Amino acid sequence: MSNWWKDSTDQVTVCSRSAHVELAAVLPAAGRFVVARLDGTRMTDADHAFYEFSDALLFPGYFGWNWNALSECLRDLSWLAADGYLIVVENAPRLLADSAEDRHTLFQVLAHAVQHRASPFGQPRFKVLLVCDRDDEAALLQQEVADTVRRMR
């Protein structure tokens, strides 16, 4: 079984539906945990992606509907106080499929949010899981995410 929550050093984790995730590895032993489930098929362009994230994570009214605003809100989340956050994107290969630039920007935003929350200052944990239907899709998407994150450095 995969223990991706505790052991993963990936900025954004990709897995197929056939992967097993231990519940104890995902949920904290105690405290409040926010799980946001999004569907990649509903995020056909940047505007739809902003809407889906805003809706799933109850973004405040001042959300600016752009990449910088999405990044800021994902790094803040003070309106959803919790001990941990998990964003699960189902059908991830279809996410922003018509715009490689927007897709890579989203991967960068998600990676920055994970990095920000991984600081040693006791901030709540933050993980992103991109779910694919098949293992081959997961391998291709994992490579795309890794390439995008590597270009960030």
- pTM for the model: 0.85
The 10s digit of each residue's pLDDT in 5-61 is 444 445 688 988 887 665 555 555 667 889 999 999 999 999 999 999 999 999 999
3-state secondary structure the chain: CECHHHHCCCCCEEEECCCCECHHHHCCCCCCEEEEEEEHHHCCCHHHHHHHHHHHHCCCCCCCCCHHHHHHHHHHCHHHCCCEEEEEEECHHHCCCCCHHHHHHHHHHHHHHHHHHCCCCCCCEEEEEEEECCHHHHHHHHHHHHHHHHHHC
Residue 115: predicted pLDDT: 87
Asked if the model's pLDDT at residue 66 lies above 80, the reply is yes
| Sheet (strand 125-132) strand order | 13-16, 125-132, 84-90, 33-39
Q: What is the mean pLDDT of residues 64-87?
A: 94
Asked if the model's pLDDT at residue 67 lies above 50, the reply is yes
Asked if the model's pLDDT at residue 3 lies above 60, the reply is no
- What does the alpha-carbon distance between residue 94 and residue 22 come to, in Å, rounded to a whole number? 26
Residue 1: predicted pLDDT: 33
Q: What is the mean pLDDT of residues 126-143?
A: 93
Residue 8: predicted pLDDT: 46
The 10s digit of each residue's pLDDT in 87-120 is 999 999 999 999 999 999 999 999 999 888 775 6
